Chain A
Amino acid sequence: MKKIEAIIRKSKFDDVKDALHEIEVNFFSYWDVTGVGNEKEGHVYRGISYSTTDIQRRVLSIVVSDNFLDKTIEAVMKAARTGNVGDGKIFVSEISEAYRIRTGEDGHEGIN
């Protein structure tokens, strides 16, 4: 099983969510983060200009069985891409065990 951690623009979240539902990945968690990267946001406050590289993004944590991995990555990538600096990143890591709490099932039954 694999965990996909995708850092995406908040404005792309709905597109990504829809894309995931289309390939029947229906279970994931997400939270908002502040990150530092290449994109700068220009700000002005009471006459003082400042650009901040601290930007708001959303992280999705999607755990899938191995056979879902490639199409999930592709779905997220397509839906989250705008072509501008700051589109985000996707990380993949190995998950050794997974359980569904309600039933106690383990392994692939418990996840996408």
Chain B
Amino acid sequence: MDAGLFTANNIWMMLSTALVFFMHLGFSFLEIGLTRQKNTINILFKNIFIITAGLLLYFIAGFNLMYPGEFNGFLGFSGFGLSLPDGGLTAAYADGGYTYWTDFLFQGMFAATAATIVSGAVAERIKLGSFMIFTIIYVGLIYPIVGSWQWGGGFLSTLGGDDAGFYDFAGSTLVHSVGGWAALVAVYLLGARIGKFGKDGTIKAIPGHNIPLATAGVLILWLGWFGFNGGSVLSADPGTTSLVLVTTSLAAAAGGFGAFILSTILYKNFDLTMFLNGILGGLVGITAGADLMSPMESIVIGLIAGVIIVLAVSFIDRLRLDDPVGAIAVHLGTGIFGTLAVGMFGDLAGWDQFLYQLEGVVAVGIFCVATSFIILYILKKTMGLRVSKEEELEGLDLHEHGMNAYSDFRLNQH
């Protein structure tokens, strides 16, 4: 391969790595914006912990759990730490798409995003220590094992033989639903925030304290998706990357619209937060098949995802599960839909593929629910998952951190 082409591919992959990294800022802003001021430091702390611990864990073992080389298809490990293989810095490594180092870092950024999905759902009442332990086990072990089943060449990728199987372009299942299942289990075991549900079954609104920041967060996440999907092409191939960016952004726009229209009809107001969640739903929904869809199909997928978001948020509330940021609706709800959509639309549409997708959803679902339940249940019974009532009412910033997020902040109005 021409050296210039190899360089171009690797540059695009490194740029994509940076864009995915930047999504952590988006998640942080979104979570802060939709929760209360008294817990802002805690949320930021969790997000910073996730990106730092996540990368370190991926270095220590995650990368080699996810890509163990030749293995039985379910569990394999190619050693602690990183070791540059022969040709790892040449076009021989990955069809000239990127170097070994780029491979590690790009994938490492994805690993951390799976954990951050949980942090939004458990916001405002989870104990920091329990969350950190959970993150270490879940990001350190569970995420890479699931990833190995598909991207590492494991059993999901060969469900239909050598050439056919489960398909997840950039991780609707492998990243988003992995986080989404854990979020669901966590929200169930943790319980709702005090004051969210009345004894008579009423649902109370707990408005977020900084909607501008939440909006900034979603726009940043959209930007990050240019790398999340764009880099999942695993090269800078002009045709595929440019198509993927188009399908991604169209799905985002359509997702926003689907949610905006449905929520306006149902609730008779223009709710910005639903519009924002809809955009994310569209993005997650297209992530499984961004390289397989036509622009028109990506719009359809986005619209459906947006509708799912609105219905899922309300449904989850009605189950008396408290999800302050809609993480379960976005990442699990549209994660599953986006995965199944690969069998319903696009280049691989067909009954066989739909079944592969379903098998993948179910296999990952069972594994993630079981493992996250075990980890969280043990934590609940040992150190406890939840802060005390006083701590929750006065704010985690004060009790877990002894700090204010906005010490000197005063409103200045005329």
Contact = CB atoms under 8 A, between A and B. Distances in A.
5 contacts: A32-B413, A43-B205, A45-B207, A47-B314, A47-B317
Contacts of A47: 263, 266-267, 271, 274, 310, 313-314, 317
B215 to A, nearest CB: 15
Contact of B274 (A43, A46, A49, A50): A46
B413 A48 contact: no
A32 B314 CA distance: 35
Interface residues of A, number: 10
Interface of A: 10, 32, 43-50
Given A10-B413, A45-B207, 18 more contacts: A43-B205, A44-B205, A45-B206, A45-B271, A45-B273, A46-B205, A46-B271, A46-B273, A46-B274, A46-B313, A47-B263, A47-B266, A47-B267, A48-B203, A48-B204, A48-B317, A49-B267, A50-B204
A64 to B, nearest CB: 24
Contact of A44 (B267, B326, B413): B267
Interface string B227-268: 000000000000000000000000000000000000100111
Nearest to B313: A46
B209 to A, nearest CB: 12
B413 A50 contact: no
A54 B411 CA distance: 18
Nearest to B277: A46
A52 to B, nearest CB: 9
Contacts of B314: 47
B382 interface: no
B269 interface: yes
B205 to A, nearest CB: 4
Interface of B: 203-207, 263, 266-269, 271, 273-274, 310, 313-314, 317, 326, 411, 413
B205 A50 contact: yes
Contact of A48 (B205, B268, B326): B205
Contacts of B267: 44, 47, 49
Nearest to B274: A46
A45 B267 CA distance: 9
A10 B206 CA distance: 24
Contacts of B310: 47
Nearest to A48: B205
B269 A44 contact: yes
A45 B411 contact: no
Contacts of B266: 47
A111 to B, nearest CB: 24
Q: For A32, A43, A46, A48, which residue has the most chain B Cβ atoms within 10 angstroms?
A: A46
Pairs A-B, 4 closest by C-beta atoms: A45-B205, A48-B205, A44-B269, A45-B207
Contacts of B206: 45
B203 A44 contact: no
A36 B273 CA distance: 27
B198 to A, nearest CB: 11
Contacts of B268: 44
Contacts of A46: 205, 271, 273-274, 313, 326
A38 B274 CA distance: 30
B413 to A, nearest CB: 7
A32 B411 contact: yes
Contacts of A32: 411, 413
Nearest to B196: A48
Contacts of A48: 203-205, 317
